[in-house]
Structure 1
């Protein structure tokens, strides 16, 4: 899993509440078992017309938004069913961090396991952050997981809290298997004692 410590990148405002995992990636695009290629179907119904043409008014089709690695969403992002493909589609598109006031529980677990940083901020702060991004004409912002803060183009900082175990997992780039293998010596001793 790719480590996450500090990232400066374009952020895209996504002012939609209750974005469920089917909106992130519709079930009809989840037939494969690999993670690659899923980014083309990210937000399929929002990004494309029924005939497959790009919707010019959707933020990730904007010339700058195409390069976004951070989404600043609204409340209850990632609600709905427990499809890990939703996180895979976001990551395949290039998204590494999502800022919102709340997240679906299963989505949050899948995000941590796949190296996607979720930052929870109060609803009003998320609204203001989306406005600031637009006012700064999508100037990059910095998400610093080590210092637990977001640094806007203006220099303003917004502190955030994160579960210490999630923070360590992301900074060290450890998936569940790698976390277990950190205890390989103890596991070997236990097996030898049997």
Structure 2
């Protein structure tokens, strides 16, 4: 599927002459933003590698489109998210072991050594859809949840009866829940070695 096909499908559902191509595109991109605030799918995972350490700094900029941390890790192991008090009390020597989020950065301690690689594994946003032939995760695998979430936004915008808004939103929610349930089932379908609960969990 593509952005253009999503827009045409949305126009077919709403069936209004004043639903322009530009408006349809706006509703779709807004719907994707809303869905991505809830969804956590394997296809949304991204990885950033920070390698330009010199031993005198410990700040890792949070990438554009960042939604949620999965973990930070080095070749020596996974870093542990801690409180600020724990961070300041942590020893300065050794391999990076702990981190905190401060503003638009993660601060790592001990400081990474020159040549060390710190990897940020996180859930990230999809790029906005602009041209009709543009594709992303949602046009390929989540067409219907986004379509009905966009229909709910459009129905609300055009002040259609509440029953339409609720029906579209209800369908979007149930379709997304089915996707998340499938993703969860796949994640737990293989043998796993569970580590200690840490971070936000």
Question: Shared fold by TM > 0.5?
Answer: no
The structure richer in strand per residue is 2
Question: What is the TM-score with the length of structure 1 in the denominator?
Answer: 0.22
* Greater C-alpha radius of gyration: 2
Question: What is the TM-score with the length of structure 2 in the denominator?
Answer: 0.22
